[in-house]
């Protein structure tokens, strides 16, 4: 097994003369669970595109599973990376049966055709749906699911090929409080499973970080502002620097929360004598 699952060395992605990501050096090792945080436009999705082998950098080197992108057939590596991202992968058609939406990932297809599926594949899809609390949805049409159910089905789909690296792009975005907490509970359990793949989760919000995340990468303006173990990186000074506002950060039972730091008390109104 290579010592790093993913390694970026001085990676730049340039479009129309602008850096989407700039001089990014980052290493993800076996057993780690990463969160990538940063404000809108920071370059998080671009980073995931590079990490998934879908975007070749303008300069710098990317190694996936110890193999240098550009020197190997990328299709041989891509199936080893599970991706849940509306920006990076197509979603199943609305009339697709949920079980089929998961099992078809084994053939890297969207929409079930005439291809035969082994009982073992169908059983694996059912197990993954159970793991993410969606087993009872197996016969429903994908398009009829709630946003929270859809996200959990898409994670199950991304795991169908037993990937060694899982990339989750804002899995909790757009979910109400109950759906977010249900998803985070599943992701927490998943993070604690030693058999689960190395995971990189992208988010804007520290409240959406599941318990069990081990490392954090902060990006702003395409550049890495901090990277390392969560407790060292998810601090008020570092998050304030990343988001460009003064923040207070708290952590309770492994869950993080951030809010604008209390400023000086507002000035008392001047009383006017009449
Ligand atoms: N093809 C392109 N040409 C020029 N600029 C681009 C291109 N694609 C993305 N960008 C810009 O690159 C920056 C990084 O985009 P990216 O989508 O990676 O950010 P992000 O952190 O995922 O943002 P968000 O949190 O809003 O989804 C943004 O300013 C975006 O407008």
ipTM rounded to 2 decimals: 0.95
Q: Is residue 168 part of a domain?
A: yes
The pLDDT tens digits for 125-145 are 999 999 999 999 999 999 999
Q: How far is the CA of 72 from the centre of ligand 1 (A)?
A: 27
pLDDT of residue 274: 53
Q: Is residue 84 part of a domain?
A: yes
Distance CA 222, CA 231 (A): 23
Q: Which atom of ligand 1 is nearest to the CA of 202?
A: 22
Q: How many other CB atoms are found less than 10 A from the CB of residue 128?
A: 23
Distance CA 198, CA 243 (A): 26
- Domain ranges, residue 225: 6-230
Number of compact structural domains in the chain: 1
Q: Average pLDDT in the 213-239 region? A: 97
Q: Which residues line ligand 1 (CB under 6 A)?
A: 15-16, 18, 20, 38, 40-46, 204
> Above 90 in pLDDT, residue 26?
yes
Task: Tell which wins on pLDDT, 270 or 90.
Answer: 90
> How far from the centroid of its chain's Cα atoms is residue 3's Cα?
22
Q: Is residue 198 part of a domain?
A: yes
Q: What predicted TM-score, i.e. pTM, was given to this entire model?
A: 0.90
Task: Tell which wins on pLDDT, 166 or 72.
Answer: 166
> Above 90 in pLDDT, residue 110?
no
Q: How far is the CA of 15 from the centre of ligand 1 (A)?
A: 10
Q: Is residue 61 part of a domain?
A: yes
Q: Average pLDDT in the 218-230 region? A: 97
> Above 70 in pLDDT, residue 183?
yes
> Above 90 in pLDDT, residue 118?
no
Q: Average pLDDT in the 244-263 region? A: 93
Contact present, 131 and 156 (Cβ < 8 Å):
yes
Q: Is residue 46 part of a domain?
A: yes
Candidate from 111-120, 186-195, 238-247 with smallest mean pLDDT: 111-120
Q: Is 221 left (phi over 0), alpha (psi -120 to 50) or beta?
A: left
Mutation test of ligand 1: which of 39, 41, 42, 203 has the most ligand atoms closer than 8 Å to its C-beta? 41
What 8-state DSSP symbol labels residue 104? G
* Protein residue with least CA distance to atom 24, ligand 1: 40
Q: CATH number for the domain including 82?
A: 3.40.50.300
Q: Average pLDDT in the 41-55 region? A: 94
Helix (H, G, I), strand (E, B) or coil at 273: coil
């Amino acid at each position: 097994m290579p010592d790093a699952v993913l390694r970026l060395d001085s990676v730049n992605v340039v479009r129309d003369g602008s850096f989407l990501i700039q001089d990014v050096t980052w290493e993800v090792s076996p057993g780690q669970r990463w969160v990538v945080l940063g404000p809108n436009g920071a370059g998080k999705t671009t980073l995931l595109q590079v990490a998934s082998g879908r975007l070749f950098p303008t300069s710098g080197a990317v190694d996936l599973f110890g193999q240098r992108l550009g020197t190997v057939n990328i299709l041989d590596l891509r199936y080893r990376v599970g991706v849940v991202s509306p920006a990076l992968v197509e979603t199943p058609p609305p009339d697709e049966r949920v079980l089929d939406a998961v099992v078809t990932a084994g053939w890297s297809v969207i929409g079930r055709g005439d291809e035969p599926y082994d009982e073992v594949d169908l059983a694996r899809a059912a197990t993954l749906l159970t793991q993410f609390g969606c087993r009872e949805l197996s016969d429903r049409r994908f398009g009829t699911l709630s946003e929270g159910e859809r996200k959990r089905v898409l994670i199950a789909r991304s795991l169908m090929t037993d990937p060694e690296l899982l990339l989750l792009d804002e899995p909790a975005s757009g979910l109400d409080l109950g759906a977010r907490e249900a998803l985070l509970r599943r992701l927490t359990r998943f993070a604690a499973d030693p058999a689960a793949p190395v995971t990189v989760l992208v988010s804007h919000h520290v409240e959406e970080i599941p318990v069990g995340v081990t490392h954090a990468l902060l990006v702003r303006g395409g550049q890495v502002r901090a990277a390392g173990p969560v407790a060292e990186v998810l601090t008020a000074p570092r998050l304030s620097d990343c988001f460009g506002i003064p923040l207070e950060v708290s952590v309770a039972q492994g869950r993080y929360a951030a809010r604008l730091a209390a400023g000086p008390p507002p000035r008392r109104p001047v009383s006017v004598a009449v």
